[in-house]
Amino acid sequence: MKCSLCKSGETKPGKTTVTLQRGDSVVVIRAVPAEICDDCGKYFLDEVPARRVYGVAEQACARQVEVEILRYAA
Ligand SMILES: [Zn+2]
């Protein structure tokens, strides 16, 4: 699909690293399936992976984890 950020690149399926911050917690999730723009590098998550990574971030915040690095498990 066309990138909605730069409007010139095309997005392609791939894997990306998502970093999220919730309060004082930082969560890094590797190998998240995403559509990635070949021009500006912006990634777009599908609904399911997006919900999962946000859920993980909420849990880390609830446990008051400072930094957590995870691998996305399909
Ligand atoms: Zn783009």
Kindly list the protein residues that place their beta carbon closer than 5 angstroms to ligand 1, a single-atom ion. 3, 5-6, 9, 37, 39-40, 42
Torsion angle of the four alpha carbons 64, 16, 2, 20, in this order, in degrees rounded to the nearest 10? 10
Mean pLDDT within 55-60: 93
Gap from CA of 11 to ligand 1 centroid (Å): 7
Phi first, then psi: what are they for 15, rounded to 5°? -120, 145
- At residue 12 the predicted structure's pLDDT band, cuts being 50, 70 and 90, is very high
Helices (H), the chain: 47-62
Please give the pLDDT value at position 66.
96
CB atoms closer than 10 angstroms to residue 59: 14
- How many residues are listed for the chain in this entry? 74
Distance (angstroms) between ligand 1 centre and the Cα of 44 equals 10
CA of 19 to the centre of ligand 1 (A): 19
Name the fold adopted by 11-71.
Answer: Ubiquitin-like (UB roll) (3.10.20)
Sorted by where each begins, the domain ranges of the chain are 11-71
Asked if residues 50 and 16 have their Cβ atoms less than 8 Å apart, the reply is no
